[in-house]
Amino acid sequence: MGNSAPLHGLTVLELGHSVAAPFAGLILADLGARVIKIENPMTGDYARGWGPPFHKEDATVFHALNRGKESITLDFSDPGQLAVLKRLMLDADAVIQNLRPGLLKKFGVDFEDVRTQSPGLIWCDIGAFGKTGPLSSKLGYDPLAQASTGIMSVTGEVNRPPVRVGVSLVDMGSGMWAVIGMLSALFERTKSNKGAHIATSLFETGLSWMTMPLAAHAVSGEVRKPYGSGLAEIVPYQAFEASDGWVMIAAGNDKLFKKLCQGLPGLDALGSDPRFSLNRDRVTRRHELLPQIEAAIAVMTVAEVGAALDGVGVPNCPLLTIDKVWTHPQTEAVGILTEADGYKWVGMPFTIDDARPTSGGIAPALGAHNETIRQEC
């Protein structure tokens, strides 16, 4: 988006590794900010080694999360390089960090001290379990947050081993919350010229994703169990197996349930059965209802189910594997894939005036911008 990008002219330091802080940095870079990534000269971002597959010696995970950034390596134990870090902080508009608790203070870097010298600085901490409490100093990754916030307890199937959500939704969600907090602080700074201290964590993000199950427990005392592809509150709202694959059906209200019964062969009587007319009754009688829907779908192909339900206006879609998603015409149509470094990557999931924000850049090699950035200091 060039000079017209919303955050053009802002400089953000990313003292980040793995997923959460790098994802936040990716969003800011695509919105036009200059994002300078500070890395350990020996190891770099841990995600550089999270492969295979690899591209240009770094894991594709790293490339996916770090496009459009600059990389400088700094050894905090070296006084001269630590001075470079402090200089960069004073010149930056914002800092994002998800280093282990206490690491920066160990080397004499404290937010309050930096803020005294740079009152307009926006500082964002992304922690594992929050900045206070008995687990505040505990190290953490996405699966630990999924486990400790109850997400894994409602994921998968009952009486089966625990299953984590297959993507790092807590890490990436934390990065999103960090950006939301930083953008609100940037807006406030335009009025007050004052910076802010933003803090979020994987634990808090996991709890926010559990808003509905936790609310149900608060009201009823119910401890939710997993429903596979389904949902505790709505029936039918899950994947069903057709003769040649799976189809996801979301009959999210009573009218849609009746339409589903009209659209699928042999289910007309089910749609007029008073035992299932209301969603609350379908939820409590799911074990009576679902086998009948399953039997009707089992003899149909995915395409036949889709055509039948589309014909009566019931939300549905086939379950697609990654290769099918990659080549799906809708993926191409929305224009979310961005080309960089000879490959296509997933860009930001929104547009601004019909243009998708993107830095257009590639992920930096470790220390690729050491000389240019140090010359600026």
Q: Which residues are catalytic?
A: 171
Sheet holding 245-250, edge to edge: 237-242, 245-250, 316-318
CA dist., res. 167 & res. 61, Å (int): 12
| 149, amino acid identity | T
Q: List, in order, residues 6 or more apart from 180 with CB less than 8 Å away.
A: none
Planar angle of CA 82, 88, 92, nearest 5 degrees:
150
β pairing state of 58-59 and 11-15: unpaired
Name the 3-class secondary structure at 181.
helix
Q: Tell me the residue type at 86.
A: K
Answer whether 72's CB lies under 8 Å from 39's CB: yes
Distance CA 132, CA 153 (A): 25
Residue with tokens 């014909």: 311
How far is the CA of 289 from the CAs of 147, 268, 283, 301, in angstroms? Answer: 31, 13, 9, 21
Prior bond to 236 cis, omega within 30? yes
Task: Tell me how far apart the alpha carbons of residues 46 and 37 are, in angstroms, rounded to a whole number.
Answer: 13
Alpha-carbon distance of 68 to 361, in angstroms, equals 4
Amino acid at 90: L
Segments of the chain assigned E as strands: 11-15, 34-39, 54-55, 58-59, 70-73, 94-97, 122-127, 196-201, 237-242, 245-250, 316-318, 337-340, 343-346
Compute the distance between CA of residue 223 and CA of residue 228 in angstroms, rounded to an integer. 16
